[in-house]
């Protein structure tokens, strides 16, 4: 392979070119696209397996439907890479998932062909229902590509239910059945889809809902797909077109990788499919090791995840305790309430999710778990700034929603050792729900504790003419300790503490605030309604006279880029935190910059003064 990115045919491609091409030309184009995807995605990282599986399907969609007049939707948007190539974005692929580069998901700002920015699964049929109601007046069609894994989510069935009640809605539901979401799809729906393939006369749930059904169709046969899509379009009614595809199709390393068919990859070798550099220990690995150890000690511990068994680190636990781990599919609401049922029966449930996906189960965490004071442990991977996956995947909102829940305790480990400690404390908690949150990153070097005071770790301490307390929440402790050492040169006494369990703010934490002129809470989550805000409110309620300032992620949807880039632009690296501390000490309000605070404008970074005001 090589030179694919400069191919003028791919670089200048348009939907009209696809419609004008012969089937032979499309076959050649499909192979060129696969080579292009392998070369480019291996160089940047991204969702490779899902896109290799939908090459012919996407070509056929653009043959039949005239985007953007007809609306082509992808659930989820990470399978839209071929769609991006067809709609003129091939030349941007070297910047895929890079800061200011091409998004790894559908993105409205990139193209009129991207109707929705859909990066949470099972939503597309609801979008399609609304769009189709409007489309009836304009003689347009809606094609909604739904992965079979997304069909495990309850919202997909709410969409199907309503589409079945809208016989004139011009929606073609393209069921992309590859037997997988991230890993092989499990449950009754997967079995039914398999039966439709092997025994089509045994009954059809879609037909039973009064939806038209066409299939199953070979999802790698462009001619068969084009005919099926054309027939479905011409019905002007909700139709399910059942397409059988193979995730990772056409690339040997993916087809041989049975665990996930190279669903999402980092930077890897395009020939071998393996990384050129050895991977470092991540927070996820630390959790996976420790929860397995705890599993041996607690035979009543049960783990639940929502189609993220391997990404959340539960692979080893599942191997050792196959009967004590449950992957419920893309069904976070069910996962949380199922955990509540386990807790009611005396088990110790641990729900392992991505932070951003817990958003979908807030009501269940509030009413089904917390209201019953059940000891469910939520382990939130990808918390904080996650990097290249962008706005829908940054885990910056879980502290906002979870800290509002009565009785919940939120732990934020600063390093691998504290993650192990907090996880054990969470599992041993019996009074109500607990949350442990950590980022998608390499686990940081352990920061030793200088002193342990009533559950709070003092990481560094000094006194000067002006005294500053940095309340470091989670992995930002590394940056905070650097700041403390730097500002001491200006006769500023700096103390850094790790509250370990910042929610709810402990009395000992509030006691710590007294005696300091300035207090800064620092977290890589939303500063609006976040953990720092809760600490500031508690301090005010307790009558503390210290000035408390909250540093965190601006109230905005953060873009994609590396974790380091976005933390730097949010002034949450050591240099940025130090800048803001100097701003305050010089009598300048850090909240006077609404662009930075509310809309994430990264341009603001004034130079720190030579010395602090005394």
pLDDT digits (tens, 9 = 90+) for 119-151: 789 999 999 999 998 877 677 899 999 988 889
Q: Mean of the pLDDT values across residues 455-472?
A: 92
How sure is the predictor about 588, in pLDDT bands with cuts at 50, 70 and 90? Answer: confident
Q: Is the pLDDT of residue 607 over 70?
A: no
Q: Which of 247, 414, 444, 563 is catalytic?
A: 247
Domain 283-437 fold is: Rossmann fold (3.40.50)
How sure is the predictor about 452, in pLDDT bands with cuts at 50, 70 and 90? Answer: very high
- Count CB-CB contacts under 10 A for residue 514: 14
CA atoms within 13 A on the CB side of 458: 15
Pairing outcome for strands 239-244 and 434-437: unpaired
Structural contact between residues 197 and 216, judged by C-beta atoms closer than 8 angstroms: yes
pLDDT of residue 145: 96
Q: Is the pLDDT of residue 611 over 60?
A: no
* Residue 547 known to be catalytic: no
Higher-pLDDT residue of 111 and 259 is 111
- Count CB-CB contacts under 10 A for residue 485: 13
Higher-pLDDT residue of 59 and 466 is 59
- Please indicate if the annotation marks 148 as binding a ligand: yes
Segments of the chain assigned to CATH 3.40.50.920: 458-599
Q: Is the pLDDT of residue 359 over 50?
A: yes
pLDDT of residue 592: 55
Residue 73 β-bridge partners: 144
Low-confidence winner among 177-191, 412-426, 442-456, 520-534 (lowest mean pLDDT):
177-191
How sure is the predictor about 35, in pLDDT bands with cuts at 50, 70 and 90? Answer: very high
Pairing outcome for strands 451-453 and 456-460: antiparallel
Among residues 490, 511, 482, the alpha carbon closest in space to that of 577 is found at 482
User: Average pLDDT, whole number, for the chain?
Assistant: 90
Q: Which of 63, 180, 360, 437 is catalytic?
A: 360
pLDDT of residue 172: 97
* Residue 274 known to be catalytic: no
Q: Is the pLDDT of residue 381 over 70?
A: yes
pLDDT of residue 320: 97
The residue behind tokens 């039973």 is 208
- Please indicate if the annotation marks 78 as binding a ligand: yes
pLDDT of residue 180: 66
How sure is the predictor about 591, in pLDDT bands with cuts at 50, 70 and 90? Answer: low
pLDDT > 70 fraction of the chain, expressed in percent and rounded: 94
Low-confidence winner among 123-132, 172-181, 283-292, 551-560 (lowest mean pLDDT):
172-181
Torsion angles phi and psi, residue 550, rounded to 5: -105, 120
Q: Mean of the pLDDT values across residues 347-365?
A: 97
pLDDT of residue 597: 41
- Please indicate if the annotation marks 121 as binding a ligand: yes
Q: Mean of the pLDDT values across residues 250-271?
A: 82
Q: Is the pLDDT of residue 610 over 60?
A: no
- Please indicate if the annotation marks 332 as binding a ligand: yes
Q: Is the pLDDT of residue 603 over 80?
A: no
Higher-pLDDT residue of 504 and 137 is 504
Q: Which of 117, 226, 290, 332 is catalytic?
A: 332
pLDDT > 90 fraction of the chain, expressed in percent and rounded: 69
CATH class for the domain made up of 4-255: alpha beta
- Count CB-CB contacts under 10 A for residue 161: 12
How sure is the predictor about 275, in pLDDT bands with cuts at 50, 70 and 90? Answer: confident
pLDDT of residue 594: 44
CATH (residue range 458-599)? 3.40.50.920
- Please indicate if the annotation marks 178 as binding a ligand: yes
Higher-pLDDT residue of 111 and 276 is 111
pLDDT of residue 5: 46
Interatomic CA distance for residues 147 and 552, integer angstroms? 36
* Residue 482 known to be catalytic: no
Higher-pLDDT residue of 198 and 402 is 402
Residue 613 buriedness (CB in 10 A; 0-12 / 13-18 / 19+): middle
100 Cβ contact partners less than 8 Å away, ≥ 6 residues apart: 559, 561
- In sign, the C-alpha dihedral spanning 565, 570, 573, 575 is positive
pLDDT of residue 602: 37
3-class DSSP state of 465 = coil
Low-confidence winner among 42-51, 233-242, 281-290, 590-599 (lowest mean pLDDT):
590-599
How sure is the predictor about 181, in pLDDT bands with cuts at 50, 70 and 90? Answer: low
pLDDT of residue 276: 81
- Please indicate if the annotation marks 162 as binding a ligand: no
pLDDT of residue 190: 86
192 Cβ contact partners less than 8 Å away, ≥ 6 residues apart: 205
Q: Is the pLDDT of residue 605 over 70?
A: no
Segments of the chain assigned to CATH 3.40.50.970: 4-255, 283-437
pLDDT of residue 608: 37
pLDDT of residue 1: 33
């Amino acid at each position: 392979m090589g030179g694919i990115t400069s191919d003028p045919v791919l670089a200048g491609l348009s939907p009209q070119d696809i419609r004008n091409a012969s089937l032979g030309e499309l076959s050649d184009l499909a192979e060129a696209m696969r080579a292009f995807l392998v070369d480019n995605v291996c160089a940047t990282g991204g969702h490779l397996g899902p896109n290799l599986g939908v090459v012919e399907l996407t070509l056929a969609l653009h043959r039949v439907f005239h985007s953007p007049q007809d609306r082509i939707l992808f659930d989820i948007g990470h399978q839209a890479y071929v769609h991006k190539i067809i709609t003129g974005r091939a030349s941007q692929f070297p910047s895929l998932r890079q800061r200011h580069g091409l998004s790894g998901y559908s993105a409205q700002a990139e193209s009129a062909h991207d109707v929705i920015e859909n990066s949470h699964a099972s939503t597309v049929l609801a979008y399609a229902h609304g769009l189709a109601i409007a489309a009836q007046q304009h003689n347009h069609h809606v094609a909604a590509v739904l992965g079979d894994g997304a069909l495990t989510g309850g919202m997909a069935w709410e969409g199907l239910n309503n589409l079945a009640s809208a016989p004139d809605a011009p929606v073609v539901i393209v069921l992309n059945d590859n037997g997988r979401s991230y890993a092989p799809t499990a449950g009754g729906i997967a079995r039914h889809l398999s039966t439709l393939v092997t025994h089509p006369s045994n009954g059809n749930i879609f037909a039973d809902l009064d939806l038209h059904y066409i299939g199953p169709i070979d999802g790698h046969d462009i001619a068969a797909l084009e005919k099926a899509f054309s027939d479905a379009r011409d019905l002007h009614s909700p139709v399910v077109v059942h397409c059988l595809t193979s995730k990772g199709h056409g690339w040997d390393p993916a087809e041989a990788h049975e665990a996930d068919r190279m669903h999402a990859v980092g930077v890897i070798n395009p020939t071998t499919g393996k990384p050129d550099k050895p991977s470092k220990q991540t927070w996820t690995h630390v959790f996976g090791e420790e929860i397995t150890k705890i599993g041996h000690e607690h035979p009543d511990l049960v783990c639940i995840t929502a189609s993220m068994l391997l990404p959340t680190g539960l692979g080893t636990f599942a191997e050792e305790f196959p009967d004590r781990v449950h992957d419920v599919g893309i069904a976070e609401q069910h996962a949380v309430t199922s955990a509540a049922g386990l807790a009611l029966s005396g088990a110790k449930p641990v729900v392992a999710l991505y932070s951003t996906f817990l958003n979908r189960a807030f009501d269940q965490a509030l009413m089904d778990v917390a209201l019953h004071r059940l000891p469910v442990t939520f382990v939130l991977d990808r918390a904080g700034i996650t990097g290249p996956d962008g706005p829908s995947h940054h885990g910056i909102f879980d502290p906002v929603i979870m800290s509002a829940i009565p009785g919940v305790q939120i732990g934020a480990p600063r390093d691998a050792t504290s993650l192990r400690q907090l996880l054990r404390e969470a599992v041993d908690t019996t009074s109500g729900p607990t949350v442990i949150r950590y980022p998608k990153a390499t686990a940081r070097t352990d920061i030793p504790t200088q002193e342990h005071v009533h559950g709070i770790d003092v990481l560094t301490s000094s006194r000067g003419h002006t005294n500053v307390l940095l309340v470091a929440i989670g992995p930002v402790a590394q940056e905070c300790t650097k700041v403390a050492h730097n500002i001491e040169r200006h006769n500023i006494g700096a103390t850094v503490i790790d509250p370990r369990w910042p929610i709810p703010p402990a009395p000992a934490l509030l006691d710590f605030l007294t005696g300091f002129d300035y207090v800064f809470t620092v977290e890589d989550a939303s500063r609006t309604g976040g953990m720092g805000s809760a600490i500031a409110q508690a301090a005010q309620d307790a009558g503390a006279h210290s000035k408390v300032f909250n540093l965190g992620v601006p109230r905005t949807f953060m873009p994609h880029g590396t974790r380091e880039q976005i933390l730097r632009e949010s002034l949450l690296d050591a240099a940025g935190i130090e800048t803001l501390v100097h701003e305050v000490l010089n009598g300048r309000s850090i909240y006077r910059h609404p662009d930075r605070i509310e809309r994430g404008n990264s341009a603001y970074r004034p130079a720190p003064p030579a010395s602090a005001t005394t």
